[in-house]
């Protein structure tokens, strides 16, 4: 329970003792507040979080308190950091569990349909999991081996090695922590007054860290930090080539997200043969969230770029990121300290991939495609088949 304080047993421990969150800030539990703060601090510092197996009560209570504090801070960034740290902490512990324990936890906590299996085909697969359960979590991983097409799938179950099931569970935990932040009950949760000083202390640290990591980006496109896929689209655009719907959407969303304004984006499209100023402005405004649903669209992630045939398989930094936007941010960050703030061009943009890969995304010509559809569909999208 100290290892996995998110389990149901832990919640009932708190319930049985009739402890409220407010109590945890009082002098009665001095170690709990201290430990909760330490958990959050470690996650902010990206330090490994240790688990104290001797003091079960303190581990469980401090986890609950830390989570309450994280949610009440209402910072997506902090929630993400905390979830990632918990994922790493649990991942390490889960990797050491027996197959039976893993199977039991996967079933009882996550509700997955998992069972141990005799390794088929001379493999070392030790579990099989229902494909729907697998797909709830696995798309979050970007390594090629986690893609469903690279798994052994038979009879509706995906085969896994022991370590892979542990990894899947740790990731599921992370997603669950992040998902719950948007639940209504959690969003409306009012922190007891006694805990507010603690929360403010955390918020101060969050601000400090954010500054340190340079989460704020410079306004406007930094060419040298642009990921290879979007550089290619931008080059096509400059050459006056006509682009697929998805390419247009991706490059527009990218430019808007790096802080270009609508007029500058439109200028880039002027060379395109079928440029229609009024229509283009409406679409760019829509993506920027200035009209319509008022949602600023995100840049499509690498999986989408691959499926649309836009990924140029850049190698280097590309192999460790899931979204072109992350590439951009990382390159900006790594450029810090370089005179003039410009970014070098060291990261590979050529690379031929892994060698045994058979396919990349294949673009296909499409006719009669609506200009407003695609990933950037307005909520309540009306795509038809």
Task: Provide the binding-site residues for other proteins, judged by CB under 8 A.
Answer: 121-123, 130-133, 135-136, 138-140, 144-145, 147-157, 241-244, 273-274, 303-304, 306-307, 354-368, 373-374, 379-385
Q: Which of 61, 63, 97, 119 is nearest to 169 (CA)?
A: 97
Shortest spacing between CB 384 and other proteins, in angstroms: 5
Q: Which is nearer to other proteins, 60 or 138 (CB)?
A: 138
CA 137 to chain centre: 11
Shortest spacing between CB 280 and other proteins, in angstroms: 14
Q: Is 256 buried (19+), middle (13-18) or exposed (0-12) by CB count in 10 A?
A: buried
Q: Which is nearer to other proteins, 46 or 241 (CB)?
A: 241
As a whole number of Å, the end-to-end CA separation of the chain is: 49
Conformational region of residue 118, where left means phi above 0, alpha means psi within -120 to 50, and beta covers everything else: beta
Q: Which is nearer to other proteins, 92 or 361 (CB)?
A: 361
Rounded to an integer, what distance in angstroms lies between the CA atom of residue 162 and that of residue 167? 9
Rounded to an integer, what distance in angstroms lies between the CA atom of residue 154 and that of residue 121? 12
Rounded to an integer, what distance in angstroms lies between the CA atom of residue 296 and that of residue 375? 12
Shortest spacing between CB 380 and other proteins, in angstroms: 5
Give the H or E element holding residue 284. helix 277-288
Q: Which is nearer to other proteins, 74 or 360 (CB)?
A: 360
Rounded to an integer, what distance in angstroms lies between the CA atom of residue 310 and that of residue 324? 11
φ, ψ dihedrals at 209, nearest 5°: -65, -40
Q: Which is nearer to other proteins, 116 or 152 (CB)?
A: 152
Shortest spacing between CB 95 and other proteins, in angstroms: 21
Shortest spacing between CB 299 and other proteins, in angstroms: 15
Rounded to an integer, what distance in angstroms lies between the CA atom of residue 11 and that of residue 8? 5
Shortest spacing between CB 377 and other proteins, in angstroms: 8
Beta-carbon contacts of residue 89 (< 8 Å; ≥ 6 apart): 48, 49, 51
Shortest spacing between CB 365 and other proteins, in angstroms: 4
Q: Which is nearer to other proteins, 26 or 150 (CB)?
A: 150
Q: Which is nearer to other proteins, 120 or 344 (CB)?
A: 120
Q: Is 188 buried (19+), middle (13-18) or exposed (0-12) by CB count in 10 A?
A: exposed
Q: Which is nearer to other proteins, 15 or 274 (CB)?
A: 274
Shortest spacing between CB 339 and other proteins, in angstroms: 40
Q: Which of 281, 189, 248, 270 is nearest to 375 (CA)?
A: 248
Q: Which is nearer to other proteins, 148 or 338 (CB)?
A: 148
Shortest spacing between CB 301 and other proteins, in angstroms: 9
Q: Is the dihedral of CA 308, 312, 315, 320 positive or negative?
A: negative
- Residue 247 · residue 233 · CB < 8 Å: yes
Beta-carbon contacts of residue 108 (< 8 Å; ≥ 6 apart): 8
Q: Which is nearer to other proteins, 278 or 379 (CB)?
A: 379
Tokens 């405004």, residue? 285
Shortest spacing between CB 199 and other proteins, in angstroms: 29
């Amino acid at each position: 329970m100290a290892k996995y304080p998110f389990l149901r047993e832990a919640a009932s421990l708190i319930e049985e003792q009739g402890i409220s969150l407010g109590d945890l800030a009082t002098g009665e539990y001095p170690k709990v507040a201290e430990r909760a703060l330490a958990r959050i601090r470690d996650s902010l510092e990206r330090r490994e979080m240790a688990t104290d197996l001797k003091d079960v009560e303190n581990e469980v209570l401090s986890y609950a308190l830390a989570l309450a504090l994280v949610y009440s801070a209402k910072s997506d960034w902090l929630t993400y950091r905390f979830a990632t740290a918990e994922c790493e902490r649990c991942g390490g512990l889960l990797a050491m569990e027996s197959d039976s324990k893993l199977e039991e936890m996967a079933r009882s906590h996550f509700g997955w349909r998992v069972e141990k299996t005799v390794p088929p085909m001379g493999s070392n697969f030790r579990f099989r999991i229902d494909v729907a359960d697998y797909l709830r979590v696995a798309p979050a991983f970007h390594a090629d081996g986690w893609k469903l097409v690279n798994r052994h799938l038979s009879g509706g179950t995906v085969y896994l090695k022991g370590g892979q099931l542990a990894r899947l569970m740790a990731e599921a935990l992370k997603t669950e922590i992040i998902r719950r932040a948007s639940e209504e009950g959690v969003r409306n949760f009012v922190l007891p007054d006694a805990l507010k000083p603690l929360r403010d202390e955390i918020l101060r640290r969050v601000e400090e860290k954010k500054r340190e990591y340079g989460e704020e980006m410079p306004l406007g496109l930094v060419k040298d930090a642009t990921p290879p896929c979007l550089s290619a689209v931008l080059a096509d655009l400059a050459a006056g080539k006509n682009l697929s719907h998805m390419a247009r959407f991706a490059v527009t969303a990218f430019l808007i997200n790096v802080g270009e304004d609508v007029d500058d984006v439109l200028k880039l499209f002027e060379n395109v043969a079928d440029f229609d100023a009024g229509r283009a402005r409406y679409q760019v405004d829509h993506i920027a969230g200035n009209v319509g649903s008022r949602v600023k669209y995100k840049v499509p992630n690498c999986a989408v770029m691959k499926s649309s045939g836009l990924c140029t398989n850049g190698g280097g930094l590309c192999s460790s990121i899931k979204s072109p936007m992350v590439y951009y941010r990382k390159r900006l960050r790594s450029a810090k300290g370089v005179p003039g703030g410009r970014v070098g061009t060291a990261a590979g943009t050529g690379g031929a991939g892994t060698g045994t890969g058979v396919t990349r995304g294949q673009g296909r010509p499409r006719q009669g495609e609506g200009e407003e559809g695609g990933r950037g569909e307005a909520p309540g999208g009306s795509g038809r088949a």
